[in-house]
A and B are shown apart, each in its own frame.
Chain A
Amino acid sequence: MQYLLLIYDPEKEWAAMPEAERNQMFDDYMTFTNDIKASGHHKGGDALQPTHTATTVRVRDGKTSVTDGPFAETREQLGGFYLIEAKDLDEATKIAARIPSAKFGSIEVRPIMTFT
């Protein structure tokens, strides 16, 4: 089964991190990504630029509105994602728990829709 792991963490904490700690986080991410590639679970994934670079698009009654910022203000913000292949939810959650941001953020585990 395929799952999307959505990484939500507080951008404020990233910003407040001392440089050494931030570099350690990047290393941990690289290690994690390589590990799940090696194990065959990795199907995709990327880090996202922070929410101040976001733009939200809505079309209502044929009118397109383009506004600055993420779709909503939230305590934790979407910072990245992984698309993984896992045999079941337990395997997916074990992988999600290894994501470095899980220690201070939240990882949402969402099964990919299959159309039969």
Chain B
Amino acid sequence: MQSAAAIEAVFRSERARVLATTIRVSHGDFDLAEEAVQEAFAAAIARWPTEGTPDEPRGWLVSVARNKAIDAIRRRVKLREIVADEPAGDAAAATELVAVPDDRLRLIYTCCHPALATEAQIALTLRTLGGLTTEEIARAFLTSAVTMAQRLVRAKTKIKAAGIPYEVPEASQLPERTGAVMAVVYLIFNEGYAATAGDAWIRRDLCREAIRLGRLVAELTGDPEARGLLALMLLHDSRRDARTDDRGDLVLLEDQDRARWDHAQIAEALALVPIALRGGAGPYSVQAAIAALHASAPRSADTDWRQIARLFDELARRQPSPIVALNRAVAIAMWQGPEAGLGLIDQLAGELGDYHLWHAARADLLRRLGRRREAAAAYRAALDHVGSSPERRFLESRLAEVEAQPPAV
């Protein structure tokens, strides 16, 4: 287990944990801890090939990083009683450090502290807990590496200067703070999922990273809603190979080749959904339940739209928004027919008149009703408001379809 690749693999899987613990023993100093961890990894690369990989690689890395951190603190400030209290590190002490409640929890909550701007929370989470480099994060969010580096520096400065504590929040704050963590994870996922521009490979990486973080949050917090979020992301992501065709054009859910869905991932998600719902059925869990109904229909025609519509009622209660109302209207249209949905959609004109998907949903229902002239008008309105190319191409092809045949009305 001494090849460079094997050592790299150890680093990748252990980096977040080693960093999280080193930040704690550095009394919350991110920069100091990061340098110490880098030096520990450098020492491992220098010594493991000849000395052999230690039995407890994580313990070794933590111990070495910790000592380097303490040395750095001593160099910076000579007289500090906290440093005087620390005994010299050794393997036994390192095991004790590793057995402490997972420091990654402290790290997640600190990265996602409300006193940091949301974009800073995302950047810091991806940098410290995710495996992404500053350049990779910059590419994913379509900014320059310099901007992203500055964002990270400012975030770490704020943590230090304002005294953001490196702690798991107290019980009374936990629900709200965990909600903030989940929001960041889902933002990361959506950035990867939306795939409107930029490196497709990086986008795929972001979804995978978000799922990994979601697993960590679910595991470490035990929060049922975190399980719901994980299930939701797994289900969305399970369709990644069926969402676009060879030309990069959009394939609607109803038209996707379900054989290309990741059924192992779906199975994992389906097992999580009932647990999440039983634990309180928050918005992520309800969305996951809706996605689960889609995922468990063998064919599009088998989809249980009545149940989906009911779940949208639940979602609307928890998270009232015009977008939820729109999706609910579409589900009702699928269940009870286009007329039923159209009435509900029209009610949202005031709020969603600038939203291309509102026009597209209207257009689709009008098309199903054979009202081609109105459908064409709605598709044109959708095109006026749409951004990305795959969606644009889709709407243009639908417009061409409804205009191809002589209008009935």
Residues of A within 8 A of B164 (CB): 88-90
B165 touches A88 (CB 8 A): yes
Residues of A within 8 A of B167 (CB): 88, 90
Residues of B within 8 A of A111 (CB): 161-163
Interface residues on A, range: 10 to 19
A1 at the interface (CB under 8 A from B): yes
Contact of A92 among B161, B163, B169 (CB under 8 A): B163
B89-120 interface (Cβ within 8 A of A): 113, 115
- Per the bound structure, the CA–CA distance linking A1 and B162 in Å amounts to 9
Instruction: Tell me, rounded to whole Å, the shortest Cβ–Cβ distance linking B31 to chain A.
Output: 15
Residues of A within 8 A of B169 (CB): 90
A90 touches B161 (CB 8 A): no
- What are 8 A-to-B residue pairs whose CB atoms are below 8 Å? A3-B163, A88-B163, A88-B164, A89-B113, A89-B164, A90-B173, A92-B163, A111-B161
- Per the bound structure, the CA–CA distance linking A2 and B238 in Å amounts to 50
Residues of A within 8 A of B162 (CB): 89, 109, 111
A94's nearest neighbour on chain B, judged by CB, is B173
- Per the bound structure, the CA–CA distance linking A88 and B113 in Å amounts to 13
- Per the bound structure, the CA–CA distance linking A30 and B173 in Å amounts to 27
- Per the bound structure, the CA–CA distance linking A89 and B173 in Å amounts to 14
Contact of B165 among A3, A89, A109, A116 (CB under 8 A): A89
Given contacts A89-B163, A90-B164, 4 further A-B contacts (CB under 8 A): A3-B163, A86-B163, A89-B162, A90-B173
Instruction: Tell me, rounded to whole Å, the shortest Cβ–Cβ distance linking A89 to chain B.
Output: 5
Residues of B within 8 A of A109 (CB): 162
- Per the bound structure, the CA–CA distance linking A1 and B28 in Å amounts to 14
Residues of A within 8 A of B77 (CB): 116
Indicate with 1 or 0, residue by residue over A80-93, a CB within 8 angstroms of chain B CB atoms. Answer: 00000011111011
Instruction: Tell me, rounded to whole Å, the shortest Cβ–Cβ distance linking B160 to chain A.
Output: 10
- Per the bound structure, the CA–CA distance linking A88 and B170 in Å amounts to 13
Closest CB pairs A-B (n = 7): A88-B165, A88-B163, A89-B163, A1-B163, A89-B162, A89-B164, A111-B162
- Per the bound structure, the CA–CA distance linking A88 and B158 in Å amounts to 12
- Per the bound structure, the CA–CA distance linking A86 and B161 in Å amounts to 13
